[in-house]
Amino acid sequence: MTLSLQLWNPWWQGVILNSLLLALAWVSPKKLLTPAGYGHAWGLGVIIWGSMGWPGYAVVMAYFVLGTAVTRLGMARKTAAGIAEGRAGVRGPENVWGSALTGALCALAIALLKTQPSSAAAQSWIPLLALAYVSSFSTKLSDTTASEVGKAYGKRTFLISSLQPVPPGTEGAVSLEGTLAGVLGSGVMALVGWAVGLISPGGVALCLLAALVATHLESLIGATLQPRFSWLTNELVNVINTTLGAGLALLLGYGWLALT
């Protein structure tokens, strides 16, 4: 009886599900993550399932699948130019948390608020944090898509801070092709969030706007600050990027609720 009750606990469900997926990934000949990356992805998966159940898990899995696919676009061309992702796109722990730390914190905050069902004020924050959660992954997929498509297919690439032409792959570089692809990527990710019931159609629009602003702010950071500070790694910039996207969406959502 006790074991049966434990299995109904979403945290135990997360442990079991992610352990099964880890076992399948471990024996698969096609490796998408490093061994350490798989371990950290297991921990992330448990956090998301335990905090948000299958809807939150669907969002993070969709990001992982789409982000991996986008990274492999034009791989031969990017490799020849020396601007492809390291390890041929195989991700490590730093990539897992660079992409998902903000989302994981939003999920944990939602889980904490769910423990206070009698507080109307606490419950009112759950949909806003769900919007921030989806927006963090919408922003990250926008950034990944814009970067990878721009490096592979961008015809004219400009430094965002000066609009001077620069080679593809330059930190802070933007292109028309990459920007349009980034908007598409954020839209797809936001639609996944809407399809699983985490956000409303209006939330999709807010995610698009937040992702667009955050992605360009991230490019500005890459062009101006990242070359000056060695500690400002790509992974840390990714955390800043997703935090900006989540924070902007949360503020926009809060403002929209206040107006209505």
pLDDT band for 82, please (50, 70, 90 cuts): low
One-letter amino acid of 208? L
Residue 83 is predicted with a pLDDT of 62
Average pLDDT value over all residues in the chain: 89
pTM for this structure? 0.92
Residue 250 is predicted with a pLDDT of 97
pLDDT band for 96, please (50, 70, 90 cuts): very high
Instruction: Write out the E strands in the chain.
Output: 157-159, 173-175
pLDDT band for 75, please (50, 70, 90 cuts): confident
pLDDT tens digits for range 98-107: 999 999 999 9
- 92-101, 154-163, 199-208 — which is least confidently predicted? 154-163
Q: What is the mean pLDDT of residues 130-138?
A: 98
Residue 1 is predicted with a pLDDT of 46
- 176-180, 185-189, 196-200 — which is least confidently predicted? 176-180
Q: Is residue 5 predicted with pLDDT exceeding 60? A: no
pLDDT tens digits for range 143-168: 999 988 888 887 888 889 888 888 88
- Contact, 80 vs 219, CB < 8 A? no
Q: What is the DSSP letter of 85?
A: P
Say how many C-beta atoms besides its own lie within 10 A of residue 212's C-beta: 20
CA angle 229, 234, 238 (to 5 degrees): 115
Tokens describing residue 227: 């070359």
Q: Which residues of 126-148 are buried (b: 16+ CB within 10 A; e: fewer)?
A: ebbbbbbbbbbbbbbbbbbbbbb
Alpha carbons 58 and 60: distance in angstroms, whole number:
6
Q: Is residue 219 predicted with pLDDT exceeding 80? A: yes
pLDDT band for 38, please (50, 70, 90 cuts): very high
Q: Is residue 3 predicted with pLDDT exceeding 60? A: no
Tokens describing residue 140: 């990250």
pLDDT band for 89, please (50, 70, 90 cuts): low
Cβ partners under 8 Å of residue 101, min gap 6: 239, 242
Alpha carbons 139 and 130: distance in angstroms, whole number:
14
Residue 76 is predicted with a pLDDT of 66
Cβ partners under 8 Å of residue 134, min gap 6: 59, 189, 190, 192, 193, 198, 199, 203, 207, 249
CA angle 233, 234, 235 (to 5 degrees): 90
- Contact, 158 vs 175, CB < 8 A? yes
The fraction of the chain above a pLDDT of 90, given in percent, is 62
Alpha carbons 194 and 59: distance in angstroms, whole number:
10
Residue 40 is predicted with a pLDDT of 95
Alpha carbons 58 and 225: distance in angstroms, whole number:
34
Residue 56 is predicted with a pLDDT of 98
Least Cα distance to 245 among 158, 134, 122 occurs for 134
Alpha carbons 56 and 5: distance in angstroms, whole number:
22
Q: Is residue 64 predicted with pLDDT exceeding 60? A: yes
pLDDT tens digits for range 173-183: 888 999 999 99
Alpha carbons 75 and 83: distance in angstroms, whole number:
9
Helix 120-153 and helix 201-224, axial crossing angle in degrees, nearest 10: 60
